[in-house]
Amino acid sequence: MKHLESIEEFTQLRENGRTIFMFSANWCPDCRFIDPVLPEIEAKFSEFTFIYVDRDDFIDICQQLDVYGIPSFVAFENGKELGRFVSKDRKTQEEIEAFITGLN
């Protein structure tokens, strides 16, 4: 999964195409729990661009989007928010895939 590098890149990705931002952090055990299944999820939903957002590096974006728990997912299509799966709870592959399926 590509890592977000700048606020400008976030804006460009949010405004163009179908993007799912995954908010995470290296120290988060619930985030590491889903790491092994993320490539499979990305492959299954290839119509989306998946972007890893480190909450510690981009706390301003987290505040702007009201993302206070991780791991969390926020989906956009051409600047419009399609949906969010935001909480501090551990997420399963099935829950993440159900969230993404519900966006379509």
Which of 44, 38, 7, 9 has the alpha carbon at shortest distance from 24? 38
Catalytic one among 4, 31, 62, 67?
Answer: 31
- 31 is annotated as an active-site residue: yes
- 62 is annotated as an active-site residue: no
Q: Is the bond into 71 cis (omega within 30 degrees of 0)?
A: yes
CA dist 59 to 6, 44, 94, 99, 103, Å? 12, 29, 28, 24, 25
Catalytic one among 4, 13, 22, 28?
Answer: 28
Query: So which residues are the catalytic ones?
Result: 28, 31
